[in-house]
């Protein structure tokens, strides 16, 4: 069964460093997302991406964050100058098309900022 894959599964980084989280969405999907879950809190929407541009973003997704689809398969989330409060599980997700409602999630990348 096709799945969303994410790397790394766990990353520890020092405060102020840049982090890139990588995702390979399901191959025929057109909509891509990043969500995060801070420990003990809700899963929160960060950003959606369609047709090589951001289609929606939340208040969390400020200038510290950026997304890119550098080639036909990878979808990346870059976090510049990480802060302690960026520590969370980051989930990549994808959806097949606009009419579909089901979003499929990856296993997550656990980011720890120290």
Instruction: For the segment 14-33, give every residue that binds another protein (CB under 8 A).
Output: 31, 33
108 lies in the site for another protein, by CB under 8 A: yes
Q: Which residues contact 79 (CB under 8 A, 6 or more apart)?
A: 18, 19, 20, 21, 64, 65, 86, 111
User: Whole-angstrom Cα distance, residue 25 to residue 103?
Assistant: 11
CA angle 56, 37, 21 (to 5 degrees): 70
Q: How big is the site for another protein, counted in residues (CB under 8 A)?
A: 28
Q: Which is nearer to another protein, 18 or 97 (CB)?
A: 97
By the rule CB under 8 A, 106 interacts with another protein: yes
Q: Which is nearer to another protein, 17 or 108 (CB)?
A: 108
111 binds another protein (CB under 8 A): no
Using the rule CB under 8 A, is 51 a contact of another protein? no
Angstrom distance (rounded) from CA 65 to CA 34: 11
- Which phi and psi (to 5°) does residue 49 adopt? -140, 130
The residues of the shown chain that bind another protein, judged by CB under 8 A, are 4, 6, 31, 33, 35, 41-45, 48, 55-56, 58, 89, 91, 93, 95, 98, 101-108, 110
């Amino acid at each position: 069964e096709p799945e969303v894959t994410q790397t790394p599964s766990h990353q520890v980084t020092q405060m102020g460093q840049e982090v890139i989280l990588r995702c390979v969405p399901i191959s025929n999907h057109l909509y891509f997302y990043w969500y995060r879950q801070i420990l003990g809190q809700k899963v929160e929407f960060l950003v959606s991406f369609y047709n090589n541009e951001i289609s929606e973003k939340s208040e969390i997704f400020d200038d510290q964050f950026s997304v890119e689809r550098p080639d036909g398969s990878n979808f990346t989330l870059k976090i510049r100058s990480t802060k302690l409060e960026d520590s969370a599980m980051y989930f990549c997700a994808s959806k097949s098309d606009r009419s579909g409602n089901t979003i499929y999630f990856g296993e997550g990348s656990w980011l720890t900022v120290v």
